[in-house]
Every structure is written in structure tokens, then in C-alpha cells.
Amino acid sequence: MARIGVFVCHCGENIARTVDVARVAGEARKMPGVAFATDYLYMCSAPGQKLLAEAIAEHGLTGVVVSACSPQLHEPTFRAAAAQAGLNPFLCEMANIREQCSWVHPSREAGTAKACRLVAAAVEKVRHARPLEPAGVPVTRRALVIGGGVAGIRAALDIASAGHEVVLVEKQPSIGGNMARLSETFPTLDCSQCILTPLMVEAARHPNIELLTSAEVEEVGGYVGSFRVRIRRKPAYVKPDLCTACGDCASACPVSVPNEFDRGLSWRKAIYIPFPQAVPATYTLDANSCLNAKQESATGYRVLACERCAEACDRQAIDYDARPEILEREVGAIVAATGYELLPRGSLEEYGYGRYADVVDGLEFERLLSASGPTEGELRRPSDGRPVRDVVFVQCAGSRDPRRGVPYCSRICCMVTAKHALLFKHKVADGRATVFYMDIRAGGKGYEEFVRRVMEEERVLYVRGRASRVVPHDGELVVFGADTLSGQPVQVRADLVVLATAMTPAPGDLAARLRIPTDPHGFFQEAHPKLRPVETLAAGVYVTGAAQAPKDIPDTVAQASAAASKALELLSRTELRREPTTARVREARCMACFECARVCPYKAVAVEEIRDREGKVVRQVAAVRVAMCEGCGACVGACRTGAMDLDGFADEQLFAQIEALARREAA
């Protein structure tokens, strides 16, 4: 006989203001199987949990229902409390009467009535629950870090230094990410390369880090603790152990294409090194621009149109016949740090972004400022190479502008622009810098002071208002805008316009492969902004850096270490307790149609042969490989005979819940 305890939480005023909690507890007392019901101010507080534990002992409860907030918030809390009091945690359920009742139904009468139904359904679920024991699964003590920008490098180093192996996968031929493009970083004006390069080298040299560049994650299988990852690695066509990065091949190469690292402001050869400090410091042949790329003969033999790089290479490191590699790795945890991009060129038409050569984005301006950039740090116009004297900076170019760009604030642009203006004034002392801004959001440590300094000491003119458009005039640019403080329209002549374009997530479908949700803008969604900021809803998958939301380098690095520490928490264990909510077959009912196996996303349903005493196969039945089952229940939905069931969401439970929910209360 079930003896269920029902605990109705007031959540301060959050529930009690609209739901008559005492009445809900009173109704609960009349429900079948309920031995005890009460209401309490804060069930999740220490006294609340104590109340729960004491009631379990005092009333000999065989199950509990906590009627409070969403189970996504506190189910683990109350299940742990129940377990501590000696109850199987799966005999504890929550009725969500806050998020799905008191917060959305202003009517006290209707809200209380609905709360009673929700409690009744939860009581039914517990009444038909079975105690479940989590299964132990071994943890593969290796991590995968996706993305070799500063976030990925930091996370990889932290995990590797703690003694675990790391597979670091980077799409580009070199790690470093967007930060490698930066000239100096705010607010300290450290040289970006000086901070980043040592980390890049350390990551490449670390005995625990396997660095895979020009590689992408193609498929992620398995589950927390033992993911199976398939990685596709593009060939470099250059044997890394032979390449000394002497550059003879590039000198010999007849093909020039825009250099992506300089965002097209310079040229590179088809065989190239992305930038001098690249890690790994070896050359890569870009198969898309190499003359040999299109030379497949009809007979199937490869025809080489040009072998100049191979001829130039003393060490014979060039290998035109290299093929893409598919690598399989087993990992226990995954950190996704795929970073950001800027709004695509051509998106902000009124500014001529992508149309006028002298309208550049922030990363292009960084390259123009950088000592290792296309102009070696001398500030010249991309269009004609003339020195730059007047620069107009446009903040919020696409940010906070749902109509033309994105609705969110990209967070770094106020500081980036201030830094740009300062660096410009340091290079061109008599130059004129004008900044169009909406507000200044300089919320970091030392940030506000930095912006003040730029405004006041560097004599940068800040104009409060949006720039409306940029038009070319006589070989120069004119920026039209409004000074909203004086209420006057303004026109500013410029040699160069720098747009603080919005940050957007890196494109691709990695989130789908990792089975993690994204927010409406495509940034990875954290499990909870405050409680689980670097975890995702997929256990064992962590997010960090600008892939989660726009953020600056200090925040990125801090978050990367946070993600690494969460991954380490997982990797520090040899075994994980796995949720026992997995599918189960009642063999006697199985008719072996195997539709369950067809719909299972995890190939967790196997064919089991039932044999007689002589070992002859009598019949086949479906069998669930528990370690691979994620507990989605698609197999149960497919099963016509009712042979499949899902522990934790069993047919008997759902049946009883539906009865409780569908019932119309007496008027």
C-alpha cells in the first residue's frame, strides 16, 4: 500500500499569492495513496528539505510529491533529499505549480484547481513508480575540445595540465582563432600575439594534447562518459614532420589568392602558412586554389598541372596524393568553443560594408594596425594605400538593431572602438577620430576608465547618435549621422570608416551534432544562466567563449577555465552513475518486428536470440543495450504489442497521470 507524502511549497509569495496552497494540501490528503500532506514556505530551503526527510521517517512514506517549481530547477534537489532520507530517488516527483501554474494563471480559483490536478497526476506517477537503480558506466578520461581559439586553447591546457588527455580540433590550419588577428587588447594594450602565442605553442607541445588542425567534428555518437567522435581531417598536402616552414614552396607558387587571416587585405599563395606565428608552424596547400585541384583525368590518373612547390622543397615534404583522414576518438567530455564571426560583408548596405574598400570592420582594422599585418602596422587605406588621417568609427553596426542586424548587444564593441581610436591616435598623432555611439557600455574592470581616457586625453570626438549612411565623395567617404545631444544632423569626412560590426555565432550545424540547443540567434544555449552556465542540456557537453554569447577575452578565458573545471569534474571519476530511465523489453510480448530498432536514434536495440536446451534458436526478441539507451522512448511509441516500456516514464505511470489530468473536477 502506497504511503505518499505531498509537500506544497509557497515559494515565498511566488506560488502562495495565486494558488491556495493550504487547499491544495487539503485536496491532496484526500487523494488515493496519500498518507501525509502539508504546505511550507520554502521547500528547497534547508528546513524545507529537513521537513521532507523527517516526514519520510515519521510517516513511513513510500513516495513523495513536491509541489513547487519546475523539476528542471529542483528535481535533483528533492530527489537527493529523498535519497538521503532512505527513499529511492525515483519515488520522488515534482508537480510544477509555479512556472506552469501560479506564474501564468492570475485567477486564484482556476490556478488552485489546476494545481490540484497537477498534484493528483504527480501522486499517480509516484503511486505507479518503481524504484530504479542508476547503472554505472565507465568514463573515458579524455576530453574533446572543439575550436582552437583562445577559449579552446585555455580549456585544453587546463584539462591537459590536470593530467587528462585532450583532443583539440581546429577547423583552420592554425590554432589561434580570432584573437590571433588582434593587434593589441583592451584595456591594458598588451600585444595580442605576446599573450596568445605562448599559449598556442604550449598547447601544441603539451604531451597530453593531441592537436588536430584543418579538422572538423563530423559525427558525435555515444553519451556522457563515452562519446565516440568521428573527425574529418583535411590533408595539408605537406608532411608536417618534414616541413621546416622555410617558405621556399610559397615563393615558387604561381597562384595568389586573398589571405583569409588578413581578411582579404593581403595576398597569399596557394601553398601558405596562415601567419608567421601559426601553430603548427608548417605550410598547407590549399587544394581549392592550387592549380592541381582541377586536374583529374578521365582515366582516373591524377595529372599534375604544376609541381613548382614540390620542386622547390628540398626536404620533399610535398605530398600531392594525401587524402582526407577520418579519425575516431573516444572521449568522456566535450567542450565546444567554436567562437564567433562578424556580420557578413554586404549586410549593412547603408554603410557600404563590403562595397567600399575603405569601410572596414573591426578585425580588418586590427590587421591594418598590426605590426605583422599587411601594412606592417602603418595605417594606410585599403583602396589606394594613402595614409589615413581621418577615421570615423561606427558603434553598434548591426548590434541592437533587429531590423538590419541582430537584436542583442555584442558587448565588446564599445571597448574595441575605444581601443581602436586610441591606437589610431597613437599612430597618427594629428589624425582626427570620430566615434558614433548609442551608449557606452564599459562594464568591465578598468573599462570605464579606459574609455574616459580615450575621450578626454586622446581627444577623440564621441558623437552620440547613429550614423545613417556612408557615401563616397571625391575619393573620400562622408559619414552622415545625427548628434542626438545637440539635435543636429552631422556630416563627417573620413579616409577610413571602421564599423564595430555585430558578433554572430560561427556557422555550421555543430549544435545539432552535439545534440545541444541553441538560442534564437544560434549561440549555444547553456543549461541555466546562473546555476549551470557552462553546462548544456546534453550531459558531458560544455560550452564556452563567444560560441555561447558575445564576450571579451577576459570573460572568455574565465569561462574556458570554468568549462574545463566542469569537464574535469566529470573526468575525475572512473565511473558515472547513469540515469536509469532507459527502455526495457518484456520479452514474452515481443513479436520481433523490430520497429523499435528502426526508430532508435542510438542503435540501442539489439536482436536477441532465444534458444532451447539444445541451443537451437527458438525465436528472436528485441533487447535494449542499456549503456547506449538515452531514454527517449521512441521505441515504446513504435511498439504495437506493448512489449517496450520506459523506466521512469512507464506506461503504467503515464496512464495513471493521463487519467488524473483528463478528469474534470466536480464543479
Partner 1 sequence: MNGTLLEIGPPAAREERSGFEPVVVAIVCNWCTYAGADMAGTTRRAYPPNVRLLRVPCTGRVSPLQVLKAFEQGADGVLVSGCHPGDCHYVHGNLVARRRLAILRALLDFVGLDARRFHVSWVSASEGVRWARVVETVTRAVREAGPLDAWSPRDGEEPVRLPEPPPAPSPPASPEEQEAVGRNLRSLAASLLGEGRVTVFLGYGEATLPGRAVPLLATDLAEASALVWNDRCHSNLAVYLAGPNRVPGKVAVVLKACDARAVIGLQQEGQLRREDLVLVGVRCPGVREEDGRLALKCHACDGEVAAGCDFTVSADGVETGAARSAAPRAVAPDPRDAAIAFLEGLPPARRWAFWREQFDRCLRCYACRAVCPLCYCGTCISEHHRPQWIPASIGPRGNASWNAIRAYHLAGRCAGCDECTRACPARLRLDLLNRRLALEVERRFGYRAGEDPSAAPPLAAFRPEDPQEFVHA
Where on the chain is the footprint of partner 1 (CB under 8 A)? Answer: 70-72, 96, 98-101, 103-107, 110-111, 113-114, 117-118, 121, 512, 515, 517, 519-520, 525, 537-538, 581, 588-589, 591-595, 598-599, 601-602, 620, 630-634, 636-638, 640-642, 646, 649, 651-652, 654-659, 661-664
Q: How far is the CB of 588 from partner 1 (least distance, A)?
A: 8
Indicate the burial class of 101 (C-beta count within 10 angstroms; 0-12, 13-18, 19 or more). Answer: buried
Cβ 79 to partner 1, closest distance in Å?
A: 15
| Shortest Å distance, C-beta 407 to partner 1 | 13
User: Residue 486 in contact with residue 450, Cβ under 8 Å?
Assistant: no
Do strands 267-269 and 190-191 pair parallel, antiparallel, or not at all (unpaired)?
unpaired
Spatial neighbors of 249 by CB under 8 A, at least 6 apart, are 238, 269, 271, 283, 309, 310, 312, 313, 318
Which residue's CB is nearer to partner 1, number 223 or number 450?
223
The residue (of 302 and 598) whose beta carbon lies closer to partner 1 is: 598
Q: How many beta carbons lie within 10 A of that of residue 273, not counting itself?
A: 23
Closer residue to partner 1 (CB): 98 or 234: 98
* Minimal distance, residue 509 CB to partner 1, in Å: 8
Residues 6 or more apart whose CB falls under 8 angstroms from that of 381 comprise 357, 358, 387, 388, 495, 496
CB of 118 to partner 1, least distance (A): 7
CB atoms within 10 A of CB 372: 17
- Round to whole Å and give the CA distance between 50 and 47: 5
Closer residue to partner 1 (CB): 176 or 550:
550
Q: To the nearest whole angstrom, how small is the minimum distance from the Cβ of residue 619 to partner 1?
A: 10
Closest CA to 260 of 145, 113, 367: 367
State in angstroms the smallest separation of the CB of 663 from partner 1.
Answer: 6
Q: What angle do CA 526, 529, 535 make, to 5 degrees?
A: 35
Instruction: Give the contacts of 580 (CB within 8 A, at least 6 positions apart).
Output: 90, 132, 133, 134, 135, 647, 648
| Positions of E strands within 296-338 | 325-331, 333-336
Q: How far apart are CA 70 and CA 298, in angstroms?
A: 64
37: Cα separation from own chain's centroid: 42
Phi-psi region of 518 (alpha: psi -120 to 50; beta: other; left: phi over 0): beta
Give me the least distance between CB of 87 and partner 1, in Å please: 21
d(CA 97, CA 285): 61
Contact between residue 362 and residue 391 where contact means Cβ atoms under 8 Å apart? no
Cell of 5: 507524502
- Min dist. Cβ of residue 510 to partner 1 (A): 13
- The CB-of-656 to partner 1 minimum distance in angstroms stands at 7
Report how far residue 148's alpha carbon sits from residue 547's, in angstroms, rounded to the nearest whole number. 12
Which lies closer to partner 1 via its Cβ, residue 68 or residue 396? 68
State which residue, 89 or 177, has the beta carbon closest to partner 1.
89
Q: Which amino acid is at 419?
A: K
Cis link prior to 235 (omega < 30° from 0)?
Answer: no
Question: Smallest distance, Å, CB 115 to partner 1?
Answer: 9
Question: What phi and psi values does residue 30 have, to the nearest 5 degrees?
Answer: -85, -10
d(CA 588, CA 235): 53
Residue 643 beta carbon to partner 1: minimum distance, rounded to whole angstroms = 9
Distance CA 214, CA 172 (A): 5
Q: Which residue's CB is nearer to partner 1, number 341 or number 595?
A: 595
Amino acid present at 473: H
Label residue 490 exposed, middle or buried (CB < 10 Å: 0-12, 13-18, 19+). middle
The C-alpha cell that represents 315 in the structure block = 626536404
**SS3 readout for 370-409:** CCCCCCCCCCECCCCCCECCEEEEEEEECCCCCCCCCCCC
Report the distance separating Cα 66 and Cα 89, nearest Å. 12
Q: Where are the alpha helices (DSSP H) in 506-587?
A: 510-514, 553-571
Q: How far is the CB of 641 from partner 1 (least distance, A)?
A: 4
Q: How many CB atoms lie within 10 A of CB 75?
A: 18
Alpha carbon distances (Å) from 492 to 398, 415, 469: 20, 22, 11
Q: Angle at Cα 21 formed by Cα 90 and Cα 121, nearest 5°?
A: 40
Residue 77 CB, nearest distance to partner 1 (Å)? 16
Of 500, 458, 419, 504, the closest CA to residue 192 belongs to 419
The grid cell for 286 is 590549399
The CB-of-4 to partner 1 minimum distance in angstroms stands at 18
User: CA 417, CA 565: separation in Å to the nearest integer?
Assistant: 33
Beta carbon of residue 41, minimum distance to partner 1 (angstroms, whole number): 20
Taking the complex as a whole, how short is the minimal distance between the CB of residue 514 and partner 1, in angstroms? Answer: 11
